Amino acid sequence: MSKDDYNVYQDSDGTWKGKREDASRASVTGSTQKEVFERTRELAQKAQSEISIHRGDNGKIRAKHSYGNDPKSTKG
């Protein structure tokens, strides 16, 4: 993960947050994962970075989305 990548996760107080990897504070906060993901996705698209979406119950990554930083030549 690069420092421009984002994480969407549920904080201990129950709010959902979208935070850049190297940031000290969340860039986006909200009451639902969908709301926070959509707003964080806009930031990731502008930065051409990646988002990791974490599960609310155990914090494990459940999905990743990449915007513009994919390798151009992949086999398969």
Mean pLDDT for the stretch of residues 22-49:
96
pLDDT at 62 over 80: yes
CA distances from 69 to 15, 56, 57 (A): 29, 27, 29
Please return the burial class of 53, using the count of CB atoms within 10 Å of its CB with bins 0-12, 13-18 and 19+.
buried
Q: Which residues, including other chains, have CB under 8 Å from residue 9's CB and lie 6 or more apart?
A: 16, 17, 19, 54, 59
**Total length of the chain:** 76
Spans of all domains in the chain = 6-64
Tell how far CA 57 is from the center of its chain: 17
The predicted pLDDT at position 27 comes to 96
The predicted pLDDT at position 74 comes to 62
The tens digit of pLDDT for each residue in 3-24 reads 889 999 999 999 999 999 999 9
